[in-house]
Amino acid sequence: MKFNIATLPGDGIGPEVIEEGKKVLKEAEKIVTGFSLEFEKYDAGNGHYLKTGVTLPESVFQACKDSNAIFMGSIGLPKAGMPVVVDERGTEVTGHVMFKLRFDLNLFAGVRPIKLYPGVVSPLANVKDIDFVVLRENCEGLFASYGAGIILYDDIAADTQIITRKGTEKIVDFGFQLALKRNGRLSDGKKAVTCADKHNVFRSFAFFRKIYDEVAERYEGQVEKDYAIIDALTLWMVQTPQNFDVIVTENMFGDIISDLAASFVGGMGMSPSGDIGHNYGMFQPSHGTAPTIAGKGIANPVATILSGKMMLDWLGDKHDNKAAKTAANLVEKAVSNTLGLGIKTFDIGGTADTSQFGDAVIAEMRKL
């Protein structure tokens, strides 16, 4: 089975890390067989905007829509020292790519795995294992105001948060389905979905929790319910990350806590992500363009490689292709082994450059 992958390298270190991701995935295809990946490169991002005045050409959006999956590098500042690239409204143009794809393809589930791999030191004291998922509703919440909002008389600014029944049902159900596939929280092995909100202050979050409870009833006896007010959650995540399995939350909250959680496991270079809907999927590292190191060949490609692993897993589920899922497991095992051998990039205490790390992962894949 052939999968057509729309590839958006983007800006800054994006092209460097996406190249390693492609290299590893093509090797997985070769080793496992039973599927093939056809990568087609497209230009989009802030650099493209500076050249053409368009961040995401309509032809590129259509190509993404027609593909089996989207594999993205990073979108943002292309070079160090540049001013932020904004549109005529004063809004950073990065969102022209991200939100166009998320909103128009209904990629409602922002999936951010948080996992500590061998050889990577966590800044948290006395923590050896971390493995949970932050699940962020991707199309509603405060981000629904993107491109809207008001500024009145240069004195008052306002953005509106939107929480809908349909959107909340989808993301919560996704969370429970995800929990069913996982091994449960590390503390006791129980499968659980934590609802993170601010229901004690805002009616919109009280509504979010109400819908959560309704959906949770369908999974009674299979997955435990759990609750956390968002400010308390940030404390508990730091103190006892092993007490979480899947955390489901609103868009802005998810944006913030997923970056916090990434710091537990080595930083943004270790943090993959998937923006997933019922029909489309986009996979990319959670980090930005890191313009200060762009072009130096030292960027950490782990987040991109593991995002590729997520893409294979999703394609395997969507198309009932066991070979793609086998390849996904192979990629993750090879990354884990490579890190366990002490082969790491400089951001996590190693000396390997971007390409050397990708080569090391491939070498491990060939041994497995």
Contact by Cβ (8 Å): 285, 304:
yes
Residues 6 or more apart whose CB falls under 8 angstroms from that of 11 comprise: 45, 46, 47, 73, 74, 75, 76, 77, 78, 289, 291, 294
Among 26-40, 141-155, 348-362, the minimum mean pLDDT is found in: 141-155
At 92 the pLDDT is 86
Contact by Cβ (8 Å): 313, 133:
no
Q: What is the mean pLDDT of residues 184-213?
A: 97
Count of Cβ atoms closer than 10 Å to residue 92 Cβ: 14
For residue 113, being part of any structural domain is answered with no
For residue 79, being part of any structural domain is answered with yes
Contact by Cβ (8 Å): 300, 314:
no
At 82 the pLDDT is 83
Q: Which band of pLDDT confidence, cut at 50, 70 and 90, is reported for residue 63?
A: very high
Residue 90 has pLDDT above 80, yes or no: no
For residue 117, being part of any structural domain is answered with no
Domain termination residue (choose one: 204, 237, 265): 265
Q: What is the mean pLDDT of the chain?
A: 96
Same domain, 140 and 250: yes
Burial tier of 143 (Cβ tally within 10 Å: 0-12, 13-18, 19+)? buried
Same domain, 311 and 212: no
Same domain, 1 and 86: yes
Domain termination residue (choose one: 223, 242, 265): 265
284: β partners: 273
Q: How far apart are CA 264 and CA 98, in angstroms?
A: 25
Give 21-43 pLDDT, tens digit per residue: 999 999 999 999 999 999 999 99
At 16 the pLDDT is 98
Q: How far apart are CA 88 and CA 109, in angstroms?
A: 30
Count of Cβ atoms closer than 10 Å to residue 98 Cβ: 21
| Residue 72, φ and ψ in degrees, nearest 5 | -115, 145
The angle at the Cα of 299, spanning 122 to 135, to the nearest 5 degrees, equals: 55
Give 68-77 pLDDT, tens digit per residue: 999 999 999 8
For residue 10, being part of any structural domain is answered with yes
For residue 111, being part of any structural domain is answered with no
At 26 the pLDDT is 98
Same domain, 240 and 282: no
Give 230-250 pLDDT, tens digit per residue: 999 999 999 999 999 999 999
Q: How many domains does the chain have?
A: 2
At 146 the pLDDT is 85
For residue 75, being part of any structural domain is answered with yes
Same domain, 79 and 182: no
Percent of the chain predicted with pLDDT > 70:
100
Same domain, 137 and 260: yes
Same domain, 281 and 365: yes
Q: What is the mean pLDDT of residues 333-351?
A: 98
Domain termination residue (choose one: 241, 265, 289): 265
Among 297, 324, 287, which Cα is nearest to 308's? Answer: 324
What's at 114, amino acid-wise?
I
Same domain, 136 and 159: yes
Residue 89 has pLDDT above 80, yes or no: no
Same domain, 346 and 279: yes
Q: Which band of pLDDT confidence, cut at 50, 70 and 90, is reported for residue 91?
A: confident
Contact by Cβ (8 Å): 198, 208:
no
Same domain, 63 and 146: no
At 149 the pLDDT is 85
Q: Which band of pLDDT confidence, cut at 50, 70 and 90, is reported for residue 259?
A: very high
Q: What is the mean pLDDT of residues 251-262?
A: 97
Alpha helix stretches (DSSP H) within 219-301: 230-239, 251-262
Count of Cβ atoms closer than 10 Å to residue 118 Cβ: 13
Among 288, 279, 284, 277, which Cα is nearest to 306's? Answer: 284
Range of the structural domain that residue 293 is part of: 1-106+273-368
Same domain, 126 and 260: yes
Residue 147 has pLDDT above 90, yes or no: no
* Strands 2-10 and 36-41, sheet pairing: parallel
What's at 267, amino acid-wise?
G
Same domain, 130 and 259: yes
At 216 the pLDDT is 98
At 78 the pLDDT is 83
What is the pTM (predicted TM-score) of this model? Answer: 0.96
167: domain CATH number is 3.40.718.10
By residue count, the chain amounts to 368
